[in-house]
Amino acid sequence: MIRSAQAMQPGLNNTFARKKQYMKRPGGILTALLFATNLIAQQAPVNISTTSLKKDFSIFRAALTEAHPGLYTYHDSSYWTKRFKETAEQLTHPLTELAFYRLLAPLVADIKCGHTKWHRNGHPEDLYAFYQTGLFPLKLYFRDAKAYVVGEYRKTNIPQGAEIIGINNNDMATVAARLKTNIPADGVVESARRQMLGEQFAGYYASFIGPSFSFTINYRLKNGTVKTTVVPSVDVATIRNHNTPATHDTLSVSFPAKGVALMRIPVFMPQEGGPEWESFLATAFHRIRQANAESLILDLRNNEGGIDQWGARLFAWFTDKPFRYYNRLTVVSDRDFSFRQYASLPEQYDQLKAFIKKQGNEYIFTLHPNLDIQQPQQDPFKGKLYVLINGRSFSVTSEFAAIARDQHRAVFVGEESGGTIEGNNSGGFVIVKLPNTGLTLGIPLLRYHMSLNEKYPLGRGIIPDHIVASQPADIIKGKDAVLEKTLSLIRDQGK
């Protein structure tokens, strides 16, 4: 569980307001689960009775309507009443755990909340929980509604850069559209869904279409020639070994050009063997001042968040004025949950409910340091700030970026952030284990509303000033087109 940097009230650990409990981080419990070698056996499916399925669905529905603070952000109550009714009407015969999982996954995705989780018990965010063999053998990159080969998990005769146009007699556009309906991501941010689909394509394909002993793949070469080949599948161990990073991405500062500093922040939480946060900031900005760097590139790509306060503390280094960070935090209500016997709640949840106050039609959670007026850091960086973002810049990262955008403090380069500019649903989670299927629903308890002065399109992320989308050739060659563009902007600025 992700903990705040400090207790928010003497004697209370504010687990209600922790960011992103499900985070995948090196050295964390989730990572150990994800990369464990003791995989679930692919056993013969067991049908679960209709009565049991209906009970689980009733608990699922109650949990979302009673606990999810963002259920009605993008759809109103009549929409959800209809969606729940249509789903319930499909429960007319026994289903396997997998079939029930597939039936409800589009509902979870339709909340448009990247923090809401739906998975097998004990396997959060593990897309290989149902199938560990029969997996798609190519690594894909999605660009302009097309899928390109940028790597392989076993040797094939399909060249890198080729466009995949069909898999097992289904055209790729149909496959991608089907899989995207099951991807939980914030708002209507397409960059997040596209990036997650590319990075986890084999898992999404197996979970929602199915495994295969081999794959018949239609592909198009750069010269337009279309070919077909049959490629054997791979297992999950092969994929995970291939995806293990060669180097550890950690907090760092470098100087790629004269007068230019590059700060990399891969996550807003402690890393094993990494520097302490406040010490890193103090040391990093001291080095930047010593180098007389007038431009700072802040690389927040693939940073999926972490501890709330770290985002506000980072922005304090880029302003010389007090600022608001969160406008308010809301919850569904202060009532107890009807599904509580099936749920695990944050520690001291009942005590923390004392900090819920009703204001008008909203229930406000009042205990969080980021609700206070934030003070600037003494001697902040006043030079030109460039922030690099993409579809995996999420949660705390998007919160920081939202304030930097609204305060007109940074030039953004890259792709639309994965988190929406207006805020997100996160903090502490209620974990609901359905009694008959064993499937687990993770629901964030807090709605974070950012303190913004301007109006922005609902459901969109931070849209870069300079949109730079890497091409398949960039990915294959390891070329960083976003960083190169940013350095070019800085050079042009100096002319």
| DSSP state string for 248-285 | ----EEEEEETTEEEEE---BS--TTPPPHHHHHHHHH
Superfamily name with CATH number, domain 138-234: PDZ domain (2.30.42.10)
- Dump pLDDT digits (tens) for 149-174: 999 999 999 999 999 999 999 999 99
Which segment of 25-29, 130-134, 346-350, 470-474 scores lowest on mean pLDDT?
Answer: 25-29
Amino acid in the structure at residue 197: L
What value does the mean pLDDT take over residues 3-27? 47
C-alpha span between 437 and 433 (Å, rounded): 9
Please give the span between the terminal C-alpha atoms of the chain, in angstroms, as a whole number: 49
Beta strands in 320-437 (DSSP E): 326-331, 343-344, 356-359, 362-365, 384-389, 411-414, 423-433
pLDDT at 9 over 60: no
Question: Order of strands, edge to edge, in the sheet holding 411-414?
Answer: 252-257, 260-264, 295-299, 384-389, 411-414, 466-467
1 pLDDT higher than 70: no
Q: Which two tokens stand for residue 119?
A: 């998975």
Provide the residue type at 430 as one letter: V
pLDDT digits (tens, 9 = 90+) for 325-370: 999 999 999 999 999 999 999 988 999 999 999 999 999 999 999 9
Task: Flag the least confident range among 4-8, 75-79, 212-216.
Answer: 4-8
Quick check: 443 and 111 in contact, CB under 8 A?
no
Least confident of 30-39, 84-93, 204-213, 346-355: 30-39
Q: What is the model's pLDDT at position 20?
A: 54
Angle at 392 between CA 387 and CA 393, to 5 degrees: 35
User: CATH fold of 252-493, please?
Assistant: 2-enoyl-CoA Hydratase; Chain A, domain 1 (3.90.226)
Q: How far apart are CA 364 and CA 354, in angstroms?
A: 11
Q: What is the pLDDT of residues 57-111, one digit of tens each?
A: 999 999 999 999 999 999 999 999 999 999 999 999 999 999 999 999 999 999 9
Helix residue ranges, H only, 111-200: 172-180, 190-199
How far apart are the C-alpha atoms of 324 and 379, rounded to whole Å? 19
Give 139's contacts (C-beta < 8 A, 6+ positions apart): 149, 150, 151, 152, 153, 198, 201, 242
| Amino acid identity, position 221 | L
Structure tokens belonging to residue 406:
């609204």
Token pair of 349 as six digits? 């949840």
Cβ(163)–Cβ(219) below 8 Å: yes
Query: Looking at per-residue confidence, does 405 or 16 come out higher?
Result: 405
Structure tokens given for 282 = 């103090």
Domain boundaries, the chain: 24-119, 138-234, 252-493
Q: Which helix (H) or strand (E) holds 313?
A: helix 308-316
Contact indicator for 326, 292 with CB cutoff of 8 Å:
no
- % of the chain beyond a pLDDT of 70: 90
